Amino acid sequence: MRPAERGVDVTTTFESFDRMWAELEPIGRAPETGGYRRHAWTRTDHDLREWFAAQCAARGLDLVEDRAGNQWGWWGDPDTTPGVVIGSHLDSVPDGGAFDGPLGVVSALAALDALRAAGVEPAVPVGVVSFVDEEGARFGIACAGSRIITGALHADRARALTDGDGVSMAEAWRRAGRDPRTLGPDEEALRRVGHFVELHVEQGKALAVAPDGGDDLTDPTRAVAIGTDIWPHGRWRIDLPGEANHAGTTRMADRHDAMLGLATVVQSARSYAVALGCVATVGKVDVVPGGVNAIPSHVTAWLDARGEREEAVRAAVDAVAEEAGRFGAITAEESWTPTTTFDTGLVDRLHGILPDAPLLGTGAGHDAGILATHGVPSGMLFVRNPTGVSHSPSESASVADCHHGVMALTAVVTDLCTVQDAEPTGGNG
């Protein structure tokens, strides 16, 4: 038992985690796929927000919403001293898994319960956050909630973003009973955060694969990892022109088929990514007019590209854009996030608290990365995922590993809220 776990009632903590997990499980689950459709500012999102608010109320936390609609539950007054914040997000990609996001929020609430049950008296406030619209599933920009408050996503641009039905974020806010004019940067909310630690399911198999290359799903020292950095990543929109015509009466020689350009985009994204050692995906396309018997007059494709090295990602995207350009396509960058290195002082400290935990970089973006880039000392913990699959209903984590995650987070928050910095952490702003 680690010193920080002393006094923690493990059984009650795990029961608290299991109960919350069971409550969340049915919300937004599509019966036909078993996947989750928890998209920002929808009815389902509303239900999740209410659930989080109820959890805060049940614990006597002060619930504060910032200017992007992120929910913060505070124990103690963060306007007197910046606090330690733990949490993640509750929204999902279309047909997403159960763990991406909710694992961090539920673990944070359970860790707070454990901390209190152990009688820990924090020297600084402790907060639990639920970020809004992390996946960008509806309006296309990932980490919208944290990008809006840090100003990384301009308020006017955010309000004008539209979903697949042409509904703008501003309109979605109005329908959710909110005033979109209040949306914008929120330094006050950010000033309250002394440290932020986001626990997240691992979105790969690094922890599930033992050093000898075989599967290792039982080694407790590989249940949780400490995040070190987030790969550079971005999203691009590629618009391919064509000419609509009849699929039966138009000679092949007379066609101007936007779909042909798409085929090249998809193929070249793969081949350049492989050649340059990064990853690239065309996971979303929009075809106009979208009829089986109509030649496409316009195709919009979205390219997601990431990798360890920025130059490689840039080179791959440039090459795909050039190939697409031969079909008259225009490629526009929708978002770009350079390499994010988590606060080195905080990473060292997490390593001191969890000496067995491996260190891990990740190809997925997170709110913790957006806050780190803004200069908020931030870090991450990853929980082992046996399948390595994410953004799919097959995403998983064992109950035992989820409980390991809660204990790790409890140890971290206990240390951060009781032991003050011996020296300033290395900022990364």
Closer residue to Zn ion (CB): 159 or 306 = 306
Burial of 60 (0-12, 13-18, 19+ CB in 10 A): exposed
Closest approach, Cβ 36 to Zn ion, in A, equals 12
Closest approach, Cβ 194 to Zn ion, in A, equals 23
Closest approach, Cβ 87 to Zn ion, in A, equals 11
Closer residue to Zn ion (CB): 100 or 229 = 100
Contact 178, 158 (CB under 8 A): no
Contact 100, 393 (CB under 8 A): no
Q: For residue 158, give Cα distances in angstroms to 111, 144, 419.
A: 33, 8, 39
Structure tokens given for 210? 């033992």
Closest approach, Cβ 403 to Zn ion, in A, equals 20
Of 227, 228, 217, 226, nearest in space to 401 by CA: 217
Of 297, 290, 286, 300, nearest in space to 330 by CA: 300
d(CA 216, CA 209): 6
Closest approach, Cβ 204 to Zn ion, in A, equals 13
Tallying the residues shown for the chain, one arrives at 429
Closer residue to Zn ion (CB): 73 or 101 = 101
Closest approach, Cβ 100 to Zn ion, in A, equals 4
The per-residue b/e assignment along 230-246, b for 16 or more CB within 10 angstroms, e otherwise, is: bbbbbbbbbbbebebbe
Closest approach, Cβ 367 to Zn ion, in A, equals 8
DSSP characters for 194-233? EEEEEEEE-SSSTTTB-TTSSB-S--GGGSEEEEEEE--E
Cα 398 → chain centroid: 20
Closer residue to Zn ion (CB): 101 or 184 = 101
Closest approach, Cβ 272 to Zn ion, in A, equals 27
Closest approach, Cβ 12 to Zn ion, in A, equals 27
Burial of 104 (0-12, 13-18, 19+ CB in 10 A): buried
For residue 410, count other CB atoms closer than 10 A to its CB.
28
Contact 169, 45 (CB under 8 A): no
Contact 189, 67 (CB under 8 A): yes
Closest approach, Cβ 393 to Zn ion, in A, equals 15
Burial of 182 (0-12, 13-18, 19+ CB in 10 A): middle
Closer residue to Zn ion (CB): 90 or 269 = 90
Contact 139, 45 (CB under 8 A): no
Question: Which amino acid is residue 9, in one-letter code?
Answer: D
Closer residue to Zn ion (CB): 100 or 304 = 100
d(CA 226, CA 205): 14
Q: Is 198 in the site for Zn ion (CB under 5 A)?
A: no
* SS3 assignment for 13-40: HHHHHHHHHHHHCCCCECCCCCCECCCC
Q: Which of residues 69-108 bind Zn ion (CB under 5 A)?
A: 100-101
Size of the site for Zn ion (CB under 5 A): 2
Contact 46, 39 (CB under 8 A): no
Closest approach, Cβ 136 to Zn ion, in A, equals 11
**Interface ranges with Zn ion (CB under 5 A):** 100-101
